[in-house]
């Protein structure tokens, strides 16, 4: 299970892990889009963040029992009930961590993130900092993704998991 701030690489890394481990992959945001038939940005614009976070929680409760690899949304661990679900799932929770500069670089051309579109750079970095303790509380393992290719990140995850098993 992958957690981390937007732009940390959760979707990309989960897809690579799924291929290597021959396991199904669920991206929580994509599951919400599929369920509602509406893009995340449209959900935020029409109904607000609270509505989206409830959809996210309901989807997490439903998906958590499926086997495979789960890439959560950047805000998923913020709710206490979601954090509890993640922590008690029995799956390893891997935090993908990236520096503020890396996040800003990865997000600069991404228009699909409603919170990032609304914020100035300093606000986005402050949001990342505010979420950090929530991520760390849930994580069994932290992987720093700065200056690593997706394949290198996956190799670090696999090596770390082998030493844990």
Q: Which helix (H) or strand (E) holds 157?
A: helix 150-164
Q: Does 11 show up as a binding residue in the annotation? A: yes
Q: Does 53 show up as a binding residue in the annotation? A: yes
User: What is the secondary structure of 19-68 as a DSSP string?
Assistant: HHHT--EEEHHHHHHHHHTS-HHHHHHHH-HHHHHHHHHHHHHHHTTSSS
- DSSP-derived letter for residue 69 is E
Q: Does 46 show up as a binding residue in the annotation? A: no
**Number of C-beta neighbours around residue 98 at 10 A:** 24
Q: Does 75 show up as a binding residue in the annotation? A: no
Q: Does 113 show up as a binding residue in the annotation? A: yes
- DSSP-derived letter for residue 120 is -
Q: Does 90 show up as a binding residue in the annotation? A: no
Q: Does 8 show up as a binding residue in the annotation? A: yes
- DSSP-derived letter for residue 143 is E
Q: Does 131 show up as a binding residue in the annotation? A: yes
Query: In the numeric block, which tokens belong to residue 43?
Result: 């959900």
User: What is the secondary structure of 123-134 as a DSSP string?
Assistant: HHHHHHHHHHHH
Q: Does 62 show up as a binding residue in the annotation? A: no
Binding-site annotation, residues for substrate: 29, 53, 74, 131
Binding-site annotation, residues: 7-12, 29, 53, 74, 113, 131
Binding-site annotation, residues for ATP: 7-12, 113
Binding-site annotation, residues for Mg(2+): 11
């Amino acid at each position: 299970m992958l957690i981390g701030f937007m732009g940390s690489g959760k979707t990309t890394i989960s897809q690579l892990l799924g291929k290597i481990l021959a396991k199904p992959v669920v991206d929580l945001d994509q599951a919400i889009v599929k369920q509602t038939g509406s893009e995340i940005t449209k959900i935020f614009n029409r109904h607000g963040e609270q509505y989206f976070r409830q959809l996210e929680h309901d989807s997490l409760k439903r998906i958590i029992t499926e086997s495979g690899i789960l890439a959560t949304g950047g805000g998923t661990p913020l709710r206490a009930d979601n954090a509890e679900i993640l922590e008690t799932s029995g799956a390893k929770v891997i935090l993908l961590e990236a520096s503020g500069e890396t996040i800003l670089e990865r997000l600069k051309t991404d228009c699909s993130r409603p919170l990032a579109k609304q914020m100035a750079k300093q606000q986005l970095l402050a949001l990342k900092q505010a979420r950090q303790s929530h991520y760390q509380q849930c994580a069994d393992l932290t992987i720093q993704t700065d200056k690593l290719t997706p394949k290198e990140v996956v190799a670090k995850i696999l090596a770390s998991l082998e030493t844990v098993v």
